[in-house]
Amino acid sequence: MSPGPLDGKVALVTGASRGIGRATAIALAQAGADVAVGCSADSPTAASVAEEITGLGRRAVVLAADLADAAAAEALVERTIAGLGGIDIVVNNAGITRDGLAVRMSDADWQHVIAVDLSAAFVICRAALRPMLRKRYGRILNVSSVSGVIGNAGQVNYAAAKAGLIGLTKSLAREVATRNITVNAVAPGFIETDMTTTLPDSARAAAVQQVPMGRMGTADEVAACICFLASPQASYVTGHVLHVDGGLGA
């Protein structure tokens, strides 16, 4: 395969076995990167993602971890370096939902979502920054959500975690900008993924009705934006939150 804009780079993508993560892992490989496919221990599809990446002529490793365990999340960085020889790009995409009205939400549902969707991203960023600072190069992309921008009833835990990612992105961008490390976020809206296919038709219709473009987005559309922010073309973009939501947050 001919060299791409990310040729020679190594990327870690969490939640890469399906949805936005899978599309991102493939897009980064198409752009030339070798990819660590982060996934849950019981993922039935991570191996096929890795096979698709190697089919593109890039290297891939599958790294299973429970992101609710901070030590396991942080270890993904060293495992990426051990498996692929370095780390240049981090995409913190993994996320879970435990929806419910705040008045009925359990402490466990609050803490689990915060642990996976926010705390894991922080410890991965912290670990990845050490090698990135040494080589004075890095690209960190955090996948937030329109829920973290405008809120969503029944998702106080998820919205808080995704809003936290935006604060993390902006603050970290200021800390490391002088070392040629950019930190950006994307905030997807209603995207066709496994998470949304389980919604009742009435809920899907109501969601689409709120979107000015009148449709759901695709995982590939989000992945393209992440790829751009990881590319040399975005070298002067940092601390930015790119909305990929069909105008929902406008």
Averaged pLDDT for residues 85-90: 98
* CA pair distance 6, 158, nearest whole angstrom: 32
Q: Are 61 and 77 in contact (CB under 8 A)?
A: no
pLDDT tens per residue across span 117-159:
999 999 999 999 999 999 999 999 999 999 999 999 999 999 9
* Residue 153, pLDDT score: 94
Please provide the average confidence, as pLDDT, over all residues in the chain. Answer: 96
> Which residues belong to the active site?
158
Residue with tokens 């190069």: 137
* CA pair distance 228, 213, nearest whole angstrom: 22
pLDDT tens per residue across span 14-63:
999 999 999 999 999 999 999 999 999 999 999 999 999 999 999 999 99
* Residue 111, pLDDT score: 98
* Residue 1, pLDDT score: 56
Q: Is residue 199 pLDDT above 80, yes or no?
A: no
pLDDT tens per residue across span 91-110:
999 999 999 999 999 999 99
Q: Which residue has the higher pLDDT, 30 or 202?
A: 30
* Residue 193, pLDDT score: 86
CATH number of 10-241: 3.40.50.720
Q: Is residue 194 pLDDT above 90, yes or no?
A: no
Q: Domain-by-domain residue ranges, the chain? A: 10-241
Q: Is residue 236 pLDDT above 70, yes or no?
A: yes
Q: Which of 57, 20, 15 is nearest to 37 (CA)?
A: 15
Considering the chain, what percentage of its residues have pLDDT values greater than 90? 92
Report the 3 state secondary structure along the chain. CCCCCCCCCEEEECCCCCHHHHHHHHHHHHCCCEEEEEECCCCCCHHHHHHHHHHCCCCEEEEECCCCCHHHHHHHHHHHHHHHCCCCEEEECCCCCCCECHHHCCHHHHHHHHHHHHHHHHHHHHHHHHHHHHHCCEEEEEECCCHHHHCCCCEHHHHHHHHHHHHHHHHHHHHHHHHCEEEEEEEECCEECHHHHCCCHHHHHHHHHCCCCCCCEEHHHHHHHHHHHHCHHHCCCCCCEEEECCCCCC
Indicate the residue type of 19. G
Q: Is residue 5 pLDDT above 80, yes or no?
A: yes
Considering the chain, what percentage of its residues have pLDDT values greater than 70? 99
